[in-house]
A and B are shown apart, each in its own frame.
Chain A
């Protein structure tokens, strides 16, 4: 009986947990409950993925109202994969959060912090689960509003302006999205995604549909920080508390890319996109974005900002897959969604461990820490190799598929850009490694930060275990691609039935 409701439970569990956590007394209880909730949600997401991995679809009618009138949760392999990424990263971030949050956030705000974290998780999972386009907007706003609040909890005052900037840009993006949804509803009279995809083909030539499409695309390009709409992202990632950066970097832009996939392939259909300049525009923006943002990353002096710019470049790779529009390229996008969440999660956790010990994220303060914190350093090396795309790591698999897709489409320029982007990644990853390992610890650091890096100890075990969990996942999914590529294949079969 309860089994048929489990898909809904994934969203409702963190939603109900949030107000409970908010009123809990100080201490470890708020943390313990959110960790418990995130692990149960993770368990449910694994169960859900196993149920749909054979290519079938779970359809859940909210309140027993049949679609297209009621809200429908329609879960296929793509939804299940995204829900797995979000809940998996949450389940690993929360154990890490215990020590990191105590250090970075005042104690009286802990309960509220975890409540906001649960709301953010609710929103992101809701976006992944729902099959209703207006419901998606509501979940989008739940996740966005809570992430503005989470970002503003950063220690420096720039966190406030970063959160404000994100609020303005994010709200414009979300409002663009509902304008598009409203126009679609005016033309078709439905909000159900599956129903929309049935009704839209006969209206393809209508100008309102083109306008709606443009609003939705621009709105979500803002949300997923597609170059040149990425301006909110570097500040938000740099000044947010470490835990928030880990969680948002690994999940929120990924969820937005998934929505883009849904809109392009399920709702509108790629045959519609091909007759608009969208796919060429995506390719152009991605190519410039990958190159420019990788260059920007090289010149950053702050480790979190460096990784943030690298994230914008990586989003370019994911959107390339959508722009190319073949089965292979969409597989690459989905695989990279998963792998990049693992890579950036691990990298931000490792950088967070350094910040935990020395209290600064500036690269020049990191000198010599590689010898003091060998495990954290090793994690940065392995995750960095994965970011570059070295064979034997998860990052290689997604780049491999992307290059194959570009070759299949005979887009040699894009093949070149992917390879150049990887070379630039070598440079900025090397910059972190060089400071950590090849600079003596007593040069500049103690003058500026007022402490000797020589006395710094390895990060506590509570930070190392989740970090290495993700690092091992990076290596494991570099060899065993059954879960990532297999699921992505299933998802693509449903997403792109009409592609060649």
Chain B
């Protein structure tokens, strides 16, 4: 029981990760794929934030009388990863717009058929 409740955030990470990953693989709609990719990346943000937590640790701001702090480094790392995620999403959506202009569709099968029939 402690294995599940004690590490509930990690279990959450795994569930979100797999949900996102499955969406990317299974959906044929290009927008839904990007949504799945985002969910997948968010799970990694949660993983990093969980790693940074130190049991009974205080907020990492130096203060008198506090000796134990949470680790701020993973949080800083994940700020970078969030920026990367935003850039990826923006680029992905821009590509979807261009694909819609070129093919008139954002369904993978549809696009595939159009290229085959040429």
Give residues in A with beta carbon < 8 Å to B: 134, 137-138, 141, 145, 148-149, 152, 157-158, 160-161, 163-164, 167-168, 171-172, 174-175, 178-179, 182, 185-186
Cβ of B96 under 8 Å from chain A: yes
Give residues in B with beta carbon < 8 Å to A: 17, 21, 24, 30, 33, 37, 40-41, 44, 47-48, 51, 73-74, 77, 80-81, 84, 87-88, 91-92, 95-96, 98-99, 102-103, 111, 115
Residues of A near B48 (CB, < 8 A) are 182
B81 and A178 contact, CB distance less than 8 A: yes
B102 and A160 contact, CB distance less than 8 A: yes
Residues of B near A149 (CB, < 8 A) are 91
Residues of A near B95 (CB, < 8 A) are 148, 152, 160, 163-164, 167
A491 to B13 CA separation, bound complex (whole angstroms) = 39
- Beyond the given A138-B84, A172-B40, A182-B44, could you list 6 further A-B residue pairs with CB under 8 A, ordered by the A residue number? A134-B80, A145-B87, A171-B41, A172-B37, A175-B44, A182-B74
Residues of A near B103 (CB, < 8 A) are 157
B44 and A167 contact, CB distance less than 8 A: no
Residues of B near A141 (CB, < 8 A) are 84, 87-88
Residues of A near B92 (CB, < 8 A) are 164, 167-168, 171
A467 to B99 CA separation, bound complex (whole angstroms) = 34
Residues of B near A138 (CB, < 8 A) are 80, 84
Residues of A near B17 (CB, < 8 A) are 179
A164 and B44 contact, CB distance less than 8 A: no
Complex A-B: 30 CB contacts under 8 Å: A137-B81, A138-B80, A138-B84, A141-B84, A145-B88, A145-B91, A149-B91, A152-B95, A152-B98, A157-B99, A157-B102, A158-B115, A160-B95, A160-B98, A163-B95, A164-B92, A164-B95, A164-B96, A167-B91, A167-B92, A168-B37, A168-B92, A171-B92, A172-B21, A175-B41, A182-B47, A182-B48, A185-B73, A185-B74, A186-B51
Q: A175-B41, A182-B74 are in contact. Are A167 and B99 (CB under 8 A)?
A: no
Across the two chains, which residue of chain B brings its CB closest to A144?
A: B88
A160 to B30 CA separation, bound complex (whole angstroms) = 12
Residues of B near A185 (CB, < 8 A) are 51, 73-74, 77
